[in-house]
A and B are shown apart, each in its own frame.
Chain A
Amino acid sequence: MSKEEKNVKRRDFLFTASYTVGAVGLGAVVWPLIDQMNPDKAQQALATTEVDISQVEPGKSITVLWRGKPVFLKRRTQDEIAEARAVSMDDLPDPQKDEERVKEGKDEWLVMLGVCTHLGCVPLKDKGDYKGWFCPCHGSHYDLSGRIRKGPAPKNMEIPKFEFVDNNTIKIG
């Protein structure tokens, strides 16, 4: 290798190293600028809401706000539960048993995020072809278990993490 070639090599290495190290730094600077838009610590901490359900009659539902979204709490009648469980899995775009969507022994309580899985509107209760919910934005029909039956929505309405603190209180989150 001639001296000149060595020089060129060294120069190339230097430039590549400078560019690489510079690019890494630039990447490291970009992350905080992106991450600052993610939910902050205060948002992350507002995780739970407790709901008093003692006043809800069978067949009625209430809506509460959790993490800025509506949560539907519906106390279903025995007829409604039976109807939801009679559905064949083949009729469901997103097959899921009603039993999987409620807490065992508390199967009259359907607790789900009241957000249409299509584009995030809030469905109307007691509407639609399946006696459950109907989203007015783009015509998605949900049944008595909150499962998608007809329309553009791809998935059943989401069940949040929740638990029964006692017989009259549900803790969401």
Chain B
Amino acid sequence: MSGHEEYKPKSKAGKWLNDRLPLLTLGAHLTDYPTPKNLNYWWTFGGILTFCLLTQIITGIVLAMHYVAHADLAFASVEHIMRDVNYGWLIRYIHSNGASMFFLAVYIHIFRSLFYGSYKSPREVIWIIGLMIYLLMMAAAFMGYVLPWGQMSFWGATVITNLFSAIPLVGDSITTWLWGAYSVDNPTLTRFFSLHYLIPFLILGLVVLHIWALHVPGNNNPVGIDIKKPSKDTVPFHPYITIKDAFALLLFMIVFAGFVFFTPNVLGHSDNYIPANPLVTPAHIVPEWYLLPFYAILRSVPDKLGGVILMFGAIFILFVLPWLDTSKVRSAVFRPIYRQFYWIFVIDVLMLGYVGAMPAEGIYLVLARVGTIYYFLHFIVVMPLVGLFEKTEPIPMSISEPVLGGGAELSLAKKDNGKI
């Protein structure tokens, strides 16, 4: 948060306020914030994600005005929203498809970070906060999916809460505690509703920290080099980045609107329009598409506890990624070997998602196991070794002067200290 002159309000009233609460300084910091001028469209997903979060919060607050969190009434209240509430169908479809759009954006955001090494020093804390947001998103999405109290709601809740019963000794007690009953039942629904309402605000708080942590070292960029701020390599956030984010957001909204207005149920499961029935399990239980890779990892292990450990491990290994990656160069643009492993990893995750939607048998089970093993190999073996042995390509000295300086010092991901 340095590099430009201290902001001085012009008006007296502005100065009065700013002396007491430096809101205007904050505003000026955000608008003038020097941003690398070579950010590509993959960098617009931060803004898109903010839009997604706010959309979910606003539509969610509205839905909560009409939804009834009770096992006997929840399904009917959703139908009431769809049929009777003014624009209820629109608001609900935005909320339900919004969850998918949110995850689509967050996955692009995460994979952008993986490609350009944005998680590397000095941005580890941004990365870790981001992963915490991602975990909370999954919790919120899961609990939200339970609320309509359809068949997938009920059985998804049953399967996921039963994961905790894998914990030795106390597992069953924890599961019963989560349920507040001896199965998924009305107490489970009401507490999920409460937490589903709470979590987005926790996410909002973490987003503030995420952006704060970002503004300390500043944005990474496609070239991955450290830059002076401000300089001719940077542009003020407003209007350059805001207009670009707005353009990307509008494109995103067109896709979003396409889902909401023309195929609003395609991302959901038809079984969730059958009211929850504790006596009958649907033939195929599948989570929403965005959780499928983890679901595949869970099912690939023939041991209950082992599956749960691997599934959570698949997420928690991301937390230590900044220290598993030994490369001194951030961006995959200059890392020919890592670049290939990166795409293999992308394909691996997509394949895991695919087999997660398939029955856990035959070739799918084999693919799930291979995919799971590779998933972990990528982080535990590929990332450290490639970083050590890879011969990186020459790196430019600055963004505006694409002179291949060769000297890697400028473009290093500094590991030793926090100096930027």
Contact = CB atoms under 8 A, between A and B. Distances in A.
Interface string B84-124: 11111011000000000000000000000000000000000
B58 A36 contact: no
A80 B355 CA distance: 83
Given A40-B85, A41-B83, A42-B80, A32 B65 contact: no
Interface centre among B65, B83, B86, B87 (most CB of A within 10 A): B86
A167 interface: no
Given A32-B90, A32-B91, A40 B84 contact: yes
A55 B154 CA distance: 51
Interface string A24-52: 00000000110111101111000000000
B104 to A, nearest CB: 21
Contacts of B91: 32-33, 36
A32 B83 contact: no
Nearest to A41: B84
B30 interface: no
Contact of A32 (B66, B80, B84, B86): B86
Nearest to A31: B87
Contacts of B62: 33, 36
B80 A36 contact: no
A33 B58 contact: yes
* Interface class of chain A by DSSP: helix
Contacts of A40: 66, 80, 84-86, 88
Contacts of A33: 58, 62, 91
Interface centre among A33, A36, A37, A42 (most CB of B within 10 A): A36
Contacts of B65: 36-37
A17 B91 CA distance: 28
Interface in B191-214: none
Contacts of B80: 40, 42
A35 B58 contact: no
A37 B88 CA distance: 10
Interface centre among B83, B85, B88, B91 (most CB of A within 10 A): B85
Contacts of A42: 80, 84
Contacts of A37: 65
Interface centre among B58, B66, B84, B88 (most CB of A within 10 A): B84
A37 B85 CA distance: 8
Contacts of A35: 86-87
Given A33-B58, A40-B84, 11 more contacts: A32-B87, A32-B91, A33-B62, A35-B87, A36-B62, A36-B85, A36-B91, A37-B65, A38-B86, A40-B80, A42-B84
Interface of A: 32-33, 35-38, 40-43
12 contacts: A32-B87, A33-B62, A35-B86, A36-B62, A36-B86, A36-B88, A40-B80, A40-B84, A40-B85, A40-B88, A41-B83, A43-B84
